[in-house]
Amino acid sequence: MRPVLLTWNAARVRAAEEPLLAAGAPLMAHAAFALHVAVARELRARRGRVAGAVVVVLAGAGNNGGDALHAGALLARRGARVLALTTAQRWHDEGAAALLAAGGRLRALVPDAVDDDAAQVLAADVVLDGVLGIGARGGLRGPVARLVEAVAAARPDGDSPLVVAVDVPSGIGVDDGTRAGTVLDADLTVTFGGAKPGLVLPPAAWAAGRVEVVDLGLALAGPADVASLGPDDVAALWPVPERAAHKYARGVVGVVAGTRTYPGAAVLASSGAALAGVGMVRYVGDAGDAVLAARPEVVVGPGRVQAWVLGPGVSPDDAAQRRRVQRAFDGVLHRGEAAVVDAGALDLLPERVGPHVVLTPHAGELARLLAQHGVDVERTAVEAEPLRWAREAHDRTGATVLLKGGTTVVVGAHGAVYAQSDGPTWLATAGAGDVLAGVLGALLAARVDDVHEDPSLAAALAAAAALVHGRAAHRAVPDGPIVALAVAHAVPATVAELLRATGTLAR
């Protein structure tokens, strides 16, 4: 299983490259060699051999183009028919010379015949996207932008040719995960020295395909800029009961969710918490009958808790539930109880809280929350720059922020940032967020003391909850429609599988 994927901003990668380049390390040769090995492997898997394969290299002006041209040269030496289309006024001289010496061809894109060039690209077995790398400023422009648009339009299902992005898909926001204009969606990204944030952050990450990191021996020290937890990491974060454990020691979650008229959210949030493994779930509200019918182990009524799940299904006109949410916030502010703040509780959030409070908005809710703090931003703008706005919400509230979406972004204390893409798109269904809130509540209840000791842990737990939630959806129904309660029911087996795989067993 995959361990955590760490990513570093362009400036940090460059800084780490510098001493090696100064010492004469052949980084580009190394990068290009690894790139050609990956492409050769894909070609062999697809068509049996490299010789005779048609390879188109899109080569920009910089070193990214140099990597692609050198890899093209190595493929040409193995018998591939390689054509490089240069996309700028200049190109990497050494890379171009190597390609020509190996029998490859090179010519400039024809601005007036973009459709002809697009046809060439579409007829290839593989395309190397080496237009822009970490030196990109903004998106693709000019003829290459039109070429990529034409190719994308003719390749709606991401079919042939295989697209391999060199270092990053050209034109993505390398550090912030934005997508300015058209990007050629890759099947595979071969990235050098260390992964980049844009390869895991939405929406750019969706253009990266599978990501392979080529180790260049860079000393990338200190915390990563953005991390993406893998299944391996969850076992270390998950609270596995000790032999001496009892239910109170394992943590109690208090759920303030749902109403008598809308009990569903209460059931889903309570189920998420109970099935994630917690000492006890207390439900506080008017939907106790429905909760007990679904989950007889839940205790209905107030009492001491370590963490709250506040807000799923709490409507603005339910004064009683809103009072209960506010009472819970007293415990959060004065007794250090942790909390997951979702949906209807978001507009009751105190002005300033700590990172032991995790907000779980989707993009629309985040826009509304920011509006409460005087920041005017539309939902679509949040979707275009999730990291930026999740960070803004963290800075303004002090809370850890888990922004839900196709890729979930978490921003927490001490610069902790995670991006998780674990769930199927079927997960975008009513009530799925309520289950996630419950699962996260269970983790916070069990580990609230650790969170107070290391506030950035709340972000890691939020990322772990998103990972388990996403994998539970896959397990509930592989490749098909799911309902929220089925996701909750798949959580125990999902956790068991992750713990087993790492040899972490309860004592």
Ligand X SMILES: NC(=O)C1=CN([C@@H]2O[C@H](COP(=O)(O)OP(=O)(O)OC[C@H]3O[C@@H](n4cnc5c(N)ncnc54)[C@H](O)[C@@H]3O)[C@@H](O)[C@H]2O)[C@@H](O)CC1
Ligand Y SMILES: Nc1ncnc2c1ncn2[C@@H]1O[C@H](COP(=O)(O)OP(=O)(O)O)[C@@H](O)[C@H]1O
Is 279 among the annotated ligand-binding positions?
A: no
Q: Which residue's CB is nearer to ligand Y, number 89 or number 425?
A: 425
Q: Distance between CA 73 and CA 484 in Å, rounded?
A: 51
Residue nearest to ligand Y (CB): 433
Q: Does 434 bind ligand Y (CB under 6 A)?
A: yes
The alpha carbon torsion through 104, 106, 110, 113 (nearest 10 deg) reads -10
Q: Smallest distance, Å, CB 87 to ligand X? A: 8
Applying CB under 6 A, which of residues 273, 399, 436, 467 lies at the interface with ligand Y? 436
Tracing tokens 């204009």 back to the chain, one arrives at 181
Applying CB under 5 A, which of residues 34, 166, 257, 309 lies at the interface with K ion? 166
Q: Does 166 bind ligand X (CB under 6 A)?
A: yes
Q: Does 329 bind ligand X (CB under 6 A)?
A: no
Q: Smallest distance, Å, CB 271 to ligand X? A: 46
Q: Smallest distance, Å, CB 435 to ligand Y? A: 7
Which span (67-75, 95-103, 384-392, 419-427) binds ligand Y, by CB under 6 A?
Answer: 419-427
Q: Distance between CA 249 and CA 279 in Å, rounded?
A: 7
Q: Smallest distance, Å, CB 312 to ligand Y? A: 7
Which span (23-31, 115-123, 157-165, 494-502) binds ligand X, by CB under 6 A?
Answer: 23-31
Q: Smallest distance, Å, CB 150 to ligand Y? A: 27
Is 90 among the annotated ligand-binding positions?
A: no
Phi, psi of 447 (to 5 degrees): -120, 25
Closest CA to 434 of 264, 183, 187, 315: 264
Show the binding pattern over residues 122-151: x = contacts ligand X (CB under 6 A), - = does not.
----------xxxxxxxx-x----------
- Give 153's contacts (C-beta < 8 A, 6+ positions apart): none
Closest CA to 299 of 259, 254, 336: 254
Q: Distance between CA 126 and CA 150 in Å, rounded?
A: 16
Count of residues near ligand X by CB under 6 A: 25
Closest CA to 501 of 468, 479, 476, 474: 468
Closest CA to 468 of 447, 492, 449, 484: 492
In SS3 terms, 79-145 reads as: CCEEEEEECCCCCCHHHHHHHHHCCCEEEECCHHHHHHHHHHHHHCCEEEEECCCCCCCCCCCHHHH
Is 317 among the annotated ligand-binding positions?
A: no
Q: Does 8 bind ligand X (CB under 6 A)?
A: no
Is 24 among the annotated ligand-binding positions?
A: no
Joined together, the tokens standing for residue 297 give 């182990």
Buried b (16+ CB within 10 A) or exposed e, 89-124: eebbeebbebbeebebebeebeeeebeebbebbbeb
- Give 171's contacts (C-beta < 8 A, 6+ positions apart): 131, 132, 136, 138, 139, 140, 145, 179, 180, 181, 182, 183
The alpha carbon torsion through 335, 339, 345, 348 (nearest 10 deg) reads 40
Tracing tokens 């068991």 back to the chain, one arrives at 496
Joined together, the tokens standing for residue 291 give 């909760």
Q: Does 430 bind ligand Y (CB under 6 A)?
A: yes
Residue 406 identity: G
Note the Cα 450 to chain centre separation in Å. Answer: 24
Show the binding pattern over residues 94-133: x = contacts K ion (CB under 5 A), - = does not.
-----------------------------------x----
Q: Smallest distance, Å, CB 64 to K ion? A: 5
Is 405 among the annotated ligand-binding positions?
A: yes
Q: Does 348 bind K ion (CB under 5 A)?
A: no
Is 129 among the annotated ligand-binding positions?
A: yes
Which span (58-66, 119-127, 349-357, 402-410) binds ligand Y, by CB under 6 A?
Answer: 402-410
The alpha carbon torsion through 110, 111, 113, 116 (nearest 10 deg) reads 60
Q: Which residue's CB is nearer to ligand X, number 64 or number 407?
A: 64
Applying CB under 6 A, which of residues 36, 362, 447, 471 lies at the interface with ligand Y? 362
Q: Does 423 bind ligand Y (CB under 6 A)?
A: yes
Q: Which residues bind K ion (CB under 5 A)?
A: 64, 129, 166, 170
Q: Which residues bind ligand X (CB under 6 A)?
A: 17, 21, 27-28, 31, 60-65, 67, 88, 132-139, 141, 166-167, 192
Binding site, annotated residues for (6S)-NADPHX: 63-67, 133-139, 167, 265, 313, 362, 434
Q: Which residues bind ligand Y (CB under 6 A)?
A: 343, 362, 404-406, 408, 423, 425, 427-428, 430-434, 436, 469
Binding site, annotated residues: 63-67, 129, 133-139, 167, 170, 265, 313, 362, 404-408, 433-434
